[in-house]
Amino acid sequence: MALFSIPGFVFLFVSFLLLGWRVDSEPTQDKQALLSFISQIPHENRLQWNSSVSVCNWVGVECDSNQSYVYSLRLPGVGLVGQIPANTIGRLTQLRVLSLRSNRLSGGIPSDFSNLKLLRSLYLQNNRFSGDFPVTVTRMTRLSRLELSLNNFTGKIPFSVNDLTHLTGLFLQDNGFSGNLPSINPVGLVDFNVSNNNLNGSIPKTLEKFPKSSFVGNINLCGGPLSPCSPFFPSPAPSPSSNFPTNLVRKSSKKLSTAAIIAISVGSAIIIFLLLLFLLLCLRKRHRRQPANPPKPADRSVVAETGTSSSKDDITGGSVELERNKLVFFNGGVYSFDLEDLLRASAEVLGKGSSGTSYKAVLEEGTTVVVKRLKDVSVTKKEFEMQMEVLGKIKHENVVPLRAFYYSKDEKLLVYDFMAAGSLSALLHGSRGSGRTPLDWDNRMKIALSAGRGLAHLHVSGKVVHGNIKSSNILLRPDHDACLSDFGLNPIFGASTQPNRVAGYRAPEVVETRKVTFKSDVYSFGVLLLELLTGKAPNQASLGEEGIDLPRWVQSVVREEWTAEVFDVELMRYHNIEEEMVQLLQIAMACVSTVPDQRPAIQEVVRMMEDMNRGDTDDGIRQSSDDPSKGSDGHTPSRESRTPPAAVTP
């Protein structure tokens, strides 16, 4: 009789509940706050927030992913007028981003903004706010970007700005701030601007690293990038209200008494003398700091000790005058050091290549980066910057990110992430036979595949030719995922100054054309696969070692049907991998074809490797026959999805 079985009824009921919940899912308290904001503030009729629609769908409002709070509120240029009403926006306690820029808001910032404890970006520029620096914002301790420019704020900039320890950008320009600049010093501050205010006094040391254009338009500001402060007067242009010196000059301009003239001349002479003395002292000090023979980055065996500052190996050899503050960062926020920090870092030579020397630099704050000092760059600054722009955009888990670059006449530097696990070359060829754990087959396969994916990303998404694939440019993460480094640098060396790339990896046509292409990358990648399979390093003419032309050697051996002979003896202890090794060998041989057009595209190579008939992965089956504790864990490498740390700026 029953129309519904009980489970069916329960199912319907539950789905009804779920549906209802989904429709109603919106942060109602945040909605109330926004409704009371919009009803109280005069605005041009550009915002039509419909209260019967979810707040998360309103113009300018963004909720978090499960719609439980308002995440950001962006209302730029919508014609808001007057004071921000209290007890409205201040109730959005989960807010991360607030933009009210380019309106006609006036008055102060409501004190209940101090409830916005999670706010990361506050954009209030280009309004008519006035009054003292809003101290409520210094309680938003997560704030990373504070924009108050183009308003009518006055009074002093408070020292409590330093409470904002996460600050990366502070924009106070085009206001009426006055008094001295406090010593503002959040570690991550990279953007700073106080130009066009009424500030006076000297620029504190902590802010000297910012360019002149961060300070201009304050007639009484001195020091740092601006003209030096006179050591005798606190301000270079004393105000009329100040005492003795001005009064003297004032009177004298009417009618100079002889006594005044003498006083002035003697005074000036003393001042000039003292200034000269001061200059001389400065010069000597500087001279002493620069060693006569700048320490040359020595060969790879030299490792600068860290710790004592006297033994630091100076990255630039100490001999060049570096332009200030021209370190250009990509995807800001990851690192927060400047050029001077970099130059102060203790450095250790990692390797010398044909395009320059790489250093491991440990900054005072503890960050470790790799700095590559390029030599023989032959393009203009503009071309250099354009190529860096392209390379800086490349993001892939199998490509070492380029973080920053520096270009001056004498010095070109690139900054990369440091990969502690070292290079494939070191792992494969370093101290062979001396008791090290050999690189097992699964890990070799993992390296081949991840390096291939990185290269495919460069080619397909980045449209960038790597140009220098070799095992020492394949860096490894601790789990043996490969990361390509040193990519895309060929365009900055003109055709005539192309560095001598390691011969063993160079495609035959490149010797003639001196031009690297996608196809020549595939050739080099093929050599890399052969290196993984054979355990033999290709011909390294630069090291003067006796090497072999790996592709030709493999071809000759395989032709005589000794295929098994080509494989690395270290692989011989793993069972049941011959078939896979032969498959990879065939892929590698296709890549090292002498005719460029016969080489597959890298995407194709990756697909072939992915499709390889990977053998039995039961535990133990691929274990080393003589030492089960070493080598493979028997699992096919599973690809974890590795998401890079989320960007802080939403």
Ligand X SMILES: *[C@@H]1O[C@H](CO)[C@@H](O)[C@H](O)[C@H]1NC(C)=O
Q: Residues interacting with ligand X, by CB under 6 A?
A: 50, 52-53, 66, 68, 128, 152, 173-174, 178-179, 193, 195-196, 200-201, 211, 213-214, 220, 234-235
Shortest Å distance, C-beta 136 to ligand X = 21
| Helix, strand or coil, per DSSP, at residue 352 | strand
With beta carbons less than 8 A apart as the criterion, state whether 34 and 70 touch. yes
Q: Please report how close the Cβ of residue 354 comes to ligand X at its closest, in angstroms.
A: 37
Strand partners, 154: 176
At closest approach, how far in Å is the CB of 35 from ligand X?
A: 13
d(CA 519, CA 501): 16
**Cβ nearer to ligand X, comparing 225 with 596:** 225
Closer by beta carbon to ligand X, 201 or else 332:
201
Nearer to ligand X, 84 or 456 (CB): 84
DSSP 258-304: HHHHHHHHHHHHHHHHHHHHHHHHHHHHHHHHS-SSPPPP--TT--P
Q: Is 241 or 310 the residue whose CB approaches ligand X more closely?
A: 241
Provide the edge-to-edge strand list for the sheet that holds 198-202. 81-82, 104-107, 128-131, 152-155, 176-179, 198-202, 220-222
* Smallest separation (angstroms) from ligand X to the CB of 147: 11
Residue whose CB is less far from ligand X, 32 or 67: 67
Q: How far is the CB of 215 from ligand X (least distance, A)?
A: 9
| CB 20, min distance to ligand X, A | 16
Read off the tokens for 110. Answer: 């409501």
Q: Smaller CB distance to ligand X: residue 46 or 515?
A: 46
CA distance 67 to 478: 37
Minimum CB separation from ligand X for residue 166, in Å?
20
Six token digits for residue 440 = 């097992």
How far apart are alpha carbons 626 and 373 in whole angstroms? 45
DSSP 79-110: -BEEPPPTTSGGG-TT--EEE--SSEEEE---
* CA end-to-end distance (rounded Å), the chain: 58
Cα separation, 393 vs 268, in Å, equals 57
Least Å distance, CB 240 to ligand X, is 11
- φ and ψ at 642, to 5 degrees? -105, 105
Strand-pair category, 328-329 with 402-407: antiparallel
Closer to ligand X by CB, 19 or 303: give it.
19
Q: Which is nearer to ligand X, 179 or 596 (CB)?
A: 179
